[in-house]
Amino acid sequence: MVKLNIAVDAFQSPSNPPVLVEWKPYVIDPGTKVDGEEFEAYNVRRWGSSGWTHSLKRSGRLVGANFNNWKTWPNTLKCHQMIAYLTDPNRNADNKPSTSECNAAIFDAMYECGENVSLVDTLVKIATSRLGVSDSEVNRLRTYLENDEGSREVVKEIQEGRKKYNIRGVPYFILGASQGGRYIGRPYGFSGAQDSDTFKDIFVELTSLLG
């Protein structure tokens, strides 16, 4: 996320087309307990240790993603339900967040503040303190999450991503040039962390398709 944002910021200029970043849902491990699991215990159970995160943390620190307080391996389904609710085009709100803003708030709460984002109480706090949800809307959001509204739609979108792009893990990026809401040429799809220069090079190549 950070390296993509660096590339987008570097590319933005009056002479270049705008870059729209939109996040789609994905759940790494649907078998994670509904309320999440203690970080070390989950890693030991699934992989034998949390050693795989060491390189992730080292590379993250170079771009300001410190992972200073990662305490929980969350079940993120309700995170995606909340994002779908907050970004719904039909939602009546003055300051509607983008999917990028939603994910940034959730990531910071989870990785840097030690919050368990599996929990409804935590998500409601994030929504009100970071994403502009008003006091008058809090109860509606809480009910939406507690009643598991939107979960079928989220699961369906994840399944469509698996089927259409063969997505089996994250991060996974789909980059394309579009006009009138339709792709020009074939979009790029690739998995794994990328350097910001890789994104910038693709932006330049895609811009050439726009004429």
- Per-residue pLDDT at 106: 98
What is the pLDDT, as a whole number, of residue 186? Answer: 82
Question: How confident is the model at residue 204, as a pLDDT?
Answer: 93
Which residues are CB-contacts of 107 (< 8 A; sequence separation ≥ 6)?
1, 65
How far is 83 from 149, CA to CA, in rounded Å? 12
pLDDT of residue 91: 93
Q: What is the model's pLDDT at position 72?
A: 98
Q: What integer pLDDT is reported at residue 61 of this predicted model?
A: 85
Q: Are strands 182-191 and 72-73 parallel, antiparallel or unpaired?
A: unpaired
Ordered by where they begin, the domains of the chain are: 1-25+167-211 (no CATH), 27-165 (3.40.30.10)
Q: Block means of pLDDT (10 residues each) for the chain, length 211 residues? A: 87 92 94 97 95 88 87 98 96 91 96 98 98 94 97 96 89 89 84 88 91 72
Report the C-alpha gap between 46 and 95 in whole angstroms.
Answer: 40
CA distance 106 to 126: 7
